[in-house]
Amino acid sequence: MISVSMEKELVKHLVRKAATLRYPFDKFPPVEGLRGKHVWDREKCVGCGLCARDCPSSAIEMIGKGLTAELKINLGRCLFCGQCEDGCPREAIKLTQVYELAESDRKKLVLEFKREST
């Protein structure tokens, strides 16, 4: 049943562009400051382990300690709260604006950051 009080509104919308996008062909640009996929700067990281300790969902695992420490981030557990980024004393972890993170295999959700073998 079409309402009387909405008639004007409905007519107005006949000539308007659709509000939705044809995803995945069209995409909204991510906003500045979006919390998405992590990047790790191995040069800056001192392996203090604060990120792993602070992470509310235990998504971050630090393998080893100190300057040789490597990082494992499980995106399946991650809340994208940004605590690791805020807590890092050296700004070694950053959240980027990459937001399309769906995977069909759970194992692919684990990001492994390694130090180059020297």
Partner 1 sequence: MIERICGICSHAHTTCYTQAVEEALKVDLPPRAKYIRTVVAELERIHNHYFWLGILAHEIGFDTLFMYTWRDREIVMNLLELISGNRVQYAMNIIGGVRRDIMPSLSSEIMKGVKILAERMTYYKKVCLDEKTILARCVNVGVLKAKDAISLCAVGPTLRASNVRRDVRADDPYAAYDEIPFHVVTYDGCDVASRIATRCDEVLESVKIIRYALEHLPTGSIEVIVSRVVPSAETIARVEAPRGENIHYLRSNGTDKPARYKVRAPTLANLPALCRMLIGGYVADIPVVIAGIDPCFCCMDRLAFADTNTDKTWSWEGERLRKYGVKWYKKK
32 or 116: whose CB is closer to partner 1?
32
CB of 31 to partner 1, least distance (A): 5
Residue closest to 38 by CA, chosen among 87, 108, 85 = 85
Provide the H-helix boundaries in the chain.
Answer: 7-14, 50-54, 83-87
Site for partner 1 in 9-68 (CB under 8 A): 9-10, 19, 31-35, 56-57
Binding to partner 1 by residue 94, rule CB under 8 A? no
Kindly provide the residue ranges of all beta strands, DSSP E only, lying in the chain, ordered along the sequence.
Answer: 38-40, 60-63, 70-74, 93-95, 110-113
* Interface positions with partner 1 (CB under 8 A): 1-6, 9-10, 19, 31-35, 56-57, 79-83, 86, 95
